[in-house]
Amino acid sequence: MANYRSCVAVYPGTFDPLHNGHVSLVRRGLQIFETIIFAVAKDTHKMPLFSLEERVAMAEQAFRNEPRLMVEPFSGLLVDYVAKRGANVILRGLRAVSDFEFEFQMALMNRKLNRQVQTVFLMTDYQWLYSSSTIIKEAAKHQGNINGLVPHAVLDKLREKFPSESDAGPLVTRATNRPVIG
């Protein structure tokens, strides 16, 4: 039987933006796998707020103190990238039953394309169950309090993209009109 601690897993996604649910999944994944490649997708059907370079830079900043994690951009078929990197595991997170159908279809297609690549699912920690990049971007766009939902580097980038209408300053909480503390 293979030693999972010696395995390299690839955690792919658009990460637009990276949020603390992603960070939590990586930390938990590193309890299982020796190395995780945080693979930031170039090719996406989504319209990203951040460029590929910005998404990679934010992830590099968020994981700068984690020597067993590599951040890389990728394009093309995921299973081809996984094989090229010498890995055989795709790490994915599941928040709710609604994620399962899509993730299950993707895992089956990847398995069809390369039978050597396995998909491992981790359930999201309960505190991040409601978090999604889409919801976080929408809240930031409307000056909602996203403190604690994203790493500091991401919060700074969201502030740049969505400056406060009143003073072009930091995102503020609606209730207190005080700056969000990153």
Q: Break the chain down into helix, strand, coil percent, rounded to 5.
A: 40, 20, 45
**Does the annotation flag 103 for ligand binding?**
yes
- Total residue length of the chain: 182
**Does the annotation flag 159 for ligand binding?**
no
**Does the annotation flag 68 for ligand binding?**
no
**Does the annotation flag 15 for ligand binding?**
yes
**Does the annotation flag 53 for ligand binding?**
no
Interatomic CA distance for residues 76 and 117, integer angstroms: 16
**Does the annotation flag 46 for ligand binding?**
yes
**Does the annotation flag 78 for ligand binding?**
yes
Residue 38's alpha-carbon distances to 13, 91, 163, 173, in angstroms, are 8, 10, 29, 31
Closest CA to 22 of 166, 169, 178, 149: 149
Mind telling me the catalytic residues?
22, 46, 95, 133
- Token code pair at residue 139: 């809240």
**Does the annotation flag 94 for ligand binding?**
yes
**Does the annotation flag 134 for ligand binding?**
yes
**Does the annotation flag 50 for ligand binding?**
no
- Token code pair at residue 163: 């400056």
**Does the annotation flag 133 for ligand binding?**
yes
- Token code pair at residue 6: 């010696």
Closest CA to 93 of 107, 83, 79: 107
Q: How many helices (H) and strands (E) does the chain have?
A: 6, 5
Residues at the binding site for substrate are: 14, 46, 78, 92
Going by the annotation, the residues of the binding site for ATP are: 14-15, 22, 93-95, 103, 128-134
Binding site per annotation, positions: 14-15, 22, 46, 78, 92-95, 103, 128-134
